[in-house]
């Protein structure tokens, strides 16, 4: 695994949920996901290979001005990702349109890794089967799916809310 982090103080292992993206294939969505993880102070894993060239230069560009907040780790394969999660006793929670548990009925833990699949194809069956849990974001009838970065924002917020991981009172907290 290759860490691509800032000089920001690192979170201790399992301090909060993490975002994980399986072989992303749209660079703009990856950039949005990096900013999402940076703004909420969570670690992010990118499980390679990506569907586009992900050079260090391209990753820095995707981080824009969030590089000082981002904690991104590049993982060379799904096998490495699952082995690391198992070694650290972290649960892999796959968000899927074929998920078994509706988001609002799922109980998150601070040690969860929230996994999101490729925009074009989700995850292969073997990755789907290796996940410890599968969650679906309920949509209206006839809707196929939502953007992966949007799904990540919804899932991450709910996981952080449930595990008391929201940054309440932070300087840039939105108010009504």
Domain ranges of the chain: 2-162
**Left, alpha or beta for 17 (phi > 0: left; psi -120 to 50: alpha)?**
beta
Tell me: pLDDT of 3 over 90.
Answer: no
Show Cβ contacts of residue 171 under 8 Å, excluding neighbours closer than 6 positions.
none
Question: Comparing 117 with 66, which gets the higher pLDDT?
Answer: 117
Please tell me what DSSP assigns to residue 67.
T
Quote the tokens at residue 12: 């201790």
Confidence class for position 26, pLDDT limits 50, 70, 90 = confident
What are the residues facing 47 on neighbouring strands?
22, 75
Which pTM value belongs to this model? 0.85
Show Cβ contacts of residue 89 under 8 Å, excluding neighbours closer than 6 positions.
111
pLDDT reported for residue 151: 97
The CATH code of the domain at 2-162 is: 3.40.1280.10
pLDDT reported for residue 33: 93
Cα separation, 94 vs 72, whole angstroms: 19
The region of weakest confidence among 20-24, 77-81, 119-123, 152-156 is 119-123
pLDDT reported for residue 98: 87
């Amino acid at each position: 695994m290759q860490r691509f982090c800032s000089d920001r103080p690192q979170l201790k292992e399992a301090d909060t949920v993490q975002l994980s993206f399986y072989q992303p294939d749209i660079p703009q969505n990856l950039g949005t996901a990096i900013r999402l993880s940076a703004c909420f102070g969570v670690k992010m894993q990118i499980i390679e290979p990506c569907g586009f060239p992900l050079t260090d230069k391209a990753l820095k560009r995707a981080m824009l001005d969030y590089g000082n907040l981002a904690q991104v780790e590049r993982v060379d394969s799904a096998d490495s990702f699952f082995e690391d999660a198992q070694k650290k006793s972290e649960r892999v929670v796959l968000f899927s349109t074929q998920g078994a548990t509706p988001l609002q009925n799922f109980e998150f833990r601070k040690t969860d890794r929230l996994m999101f699949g490729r925009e074009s194809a989700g995850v292969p069956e073997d990755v789907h089967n290796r996940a410890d849990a599968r969650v679906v974001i309920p949509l209206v009838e006839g809707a196929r799916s939502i953007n992966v970065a949007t799904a990540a924002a919804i899932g991450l917020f709910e996981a952080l809310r449930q595990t008391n991981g929201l940054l309440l009172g932070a300087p840039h907290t939105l108010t009504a």
